[in-house]
Amino acid sequence: MKNDYLVKSLAFNGNLRIYAARTTELVNKANQIAHAYPTAAAALGRTLTATVMIGGMLKGRETVTVRINGGGPIGLILADADSMGNVRGYASNPRVHFQYDSGKLNVGMAVGTDGDLYVTKDLGLKDYFTGQVPLQTGEIGDDFTYYFAQSEQTPSAVGLGVLVSPDNEILASGGFIVQVMPGASEEAISAIERALSTIKPVSDMIADGLTPEDMIAELVGAQNYNVLETMPLAFNCNCSKEKFIPGLTSLGNVELDEMIKDDNGAEAVCHFCMQKYRFSASELEALKK
């Protein structure tokens, strides 16, 4: 399969849960919308990849929102996903680029570490789970690893990688989340620790043509896992004109009157997909209290 997809699997007789994803196309779409520079594209792509995999852990109509605000020049990175493989996200300042002397993208510099990673799960019926951890390196993979250990009490390893060409094309993107199940054996834990210490970067594996299944096999061996589910992934925004009405209403009559008088209406822009929605003067008039 050439498109983006997520593989959910169990390894070593259920001792480990492993999710692996290829996200090259969806990160490309996000990047076409954001016109991000390479380092910002990598930061956004890693965040989208982690968010869509966490979405894959949810059920039914549950959703997850991830916010990363490390005080770095990229500003806020925000992404949300549902349980069916749809994800969207943006960075408030996508025109950011830093690299190490090696040429590797310096995502940590763009994101910063003076802030937190927030994960909010909407579990329906006004039931929310929010986890918040201080950013460790701003490299995002490390930060999610720390999040799972601290907020969800699940020892995990998160690998994320995005390969960006100098002319801002996403060449490869993907990731994995390995989680140690309660009561896991020492053999399983030391086997995965060994594998994690020698595995190639995710961006290299995806660029070399490895599938999500191949990445899981690299981690645990082809004979030692079984696939639970395979799910296509895509960048999709579910915005609509109606969703901007509460925000406009909350501005109050004075500000609405100003928009009617000065601009003969208003234009709302979706941060996620850049879709524009026009509100006429009479539509704004109807929102006044």
* 157 in contact with Zn ion (CB under 5 A): no
CA 121, 238, 145 angle in degrees (round to 5)? 35
Looking at the DSSP assignment, which residues form a beta bridge with residue 180? 16
List the interface residues with Zn ion, window 1-60 (CB under 5 A).
none
* 133 in contact with Zn ion (CB under 5 A): no
Which CB atom, from 81 or from 111, has the smaller least distance to Zn ion?
81
**How far is the first Cα of the chain from the last one, in angstroms, to the nearest whole number?**
53
* 189 in contact with Zn ion (CB under 5 A): no
* 90 in contact with Zn ion (CB under 5 A): no
Which CB atom, from 147 or from 272, has the smaller least distance to Zn ion?
272
21: tokens are 């994803």
* 79 in contact with Zn ion (CB under 5 A): no
150: tokens are 């601290």
Using the contact rule CB under 5 A, the part of the chain among 71-79, 126-134, 181-189, 268-276 near Zn ion is 268-276
Which CB atom, from 162 or from 237, has the smaller least distance to Zn ion?
237
In whole angstroms, give the CA distance from residue 85 to residue 196.
Answer: 26
* 64 in contact with Zn ion (CB under 5 A): no
DSSP labels for 114-132? SSEEEEEEE-STT-EEEEE
Q: How far is the CB of 247 from Zn ion (least distance, A)?
A: 13
Give Cβ neighbours of residue 203 (< 8 Å, ≥ 6 apart): 161, 162, 163, 172, 173, 174
Which CB atom, from 118 or from 244, has the smaller least distance to Zn ion?
244
Question: How many CA atoms within 13 Å lie on the side-chain side of 98?
Answer: 14
Which CB atom, from 44 or from 237, has the smaller least distance to Zn ion?
237
Which CB atom, from 148 or from 235, has the smaller least distance to Zn ion?
235
List the interface residues with Zn ion, window 211-250 (CB under 5 A).
237, 239
Looking at the DSSP assignment, which residues form a beta bridge with residue 157? 178
Task: Determine how many CB atoms are found less than 10 A away from the CB of residue 120.
Answer: 15
Which CB atom, from 241 or from 288, has the smaller least distance to Zn ion?
241
- Compute CA distances 40 → 84, 115, 164, 206, whole Å: 26, 17, 10, 19
Amino acid at 169: E
Q: How far is the CB of 271 from Zn ion (least distance, A)?
A: 8
Q: How far is the CB of 88 from Zn ion (least distance, A)?
A: 7
* 170 in contact with Zn ion (CB under 5 A): no
* 251 in contact with Zn ion (CB under 5 A): no
Residue from 225, 235, 272, 279 that binds Zn ion (CB under 5 A)?
272
110 within 8 A of 73, measured Cβ to Cβ: yes
* 268 in contact with Zn ion (CB under 5 A): no
Name the residues that contact Zn ion, by CB under 5 A. Answer: 237, 239, 270, 272-273, 275
